[in-house]
Amino acid sequence: MEAIKPIYEEIENEINSLQHGVKIIAVTKQVGIARTQEAIEAGIRHLGENRPEGLLNKLSAIDANVEWHYIGNLQSRKVKDVINKIDYLHSLDRMSLAKEIQKRAEQPVKCFVQVNVSREETKSGFAPEETLDFIKSLEAFDKIQVVGLMTMAPNTDNDSVIRDVFKTLKSLQLRIAAEQLPHAPCNECSMGMSNDYRIAVQEGATFVRIGTALVGAESEASE
């Protein structure tokens, strides 16, 4: 596979030409420990995993000053295994999960509330019109800090459809931030992946989650 450093520098320069301050999360779920270590050595400081097993295996093998993002669906029974080992959770998508985090977390966790902007049945998350009420209901949850919103665009080649999804999330994020809720500053927007991160950045993403376009994919990740 290609070396990560030049790819990272190219993507970073491209993103900076569109908008400054966007954080790149290298999604390492399809690569093993060695490739993840290479990403760190290339200067990447945000790493994303979507399975507890992959996260824990990499954490046990890698000792580095990086921030770990859990980006996949998190089963309530798995919360106790990961919640005190991550810096960000990108998939707060139901009240039962919030309650489990409140029960298990040792300190406040930075959470993105997942919004199903495209209203696809196969995707988790709140409908846009439900999101603010859910966030307000978390006021007493002192182990949850809502730092922003997350969404995934539909799998389509229609850029205008993707753009509309990202515009909607950004508008909602700004509206919630304007509420100035102490437990939910909601200043961040996690949107955009390998195929659509450019559009996401143009529409105001502050975090993008890039996997195959940045670190590639290995047929058998050595986890």
Q: How far is CA 100 from CA 67, 74, 144, in A?
A: 22, 11, 11
At the topology level, CATH places domain 4-215 in TIM Barrel (3.20.20)
pTM over 0.85: yes
Distance CA 80, CA 84 (A): 8
| Residue extents of the structural domains in the chain | 4-215
More confident residue, 221 or 158: 158
- Cα dihedral sign for 146, 149, 150, 151? positive
The mean pLDDT value for 2-21 works out to: 97
Strands (E), the chain: 23-27, 46-49, 67-70, 88-92, 109-114, 144-150, 188-190, 207-210
**Confidence at residue 223, expressed as pLDDT on a 0 to 100 scale:** 39
* pLDDT digit string, tens, across residues 170-221: 999 999 999 999 999 999 999 999 999 999 999 999 999 999 999 999 854 4
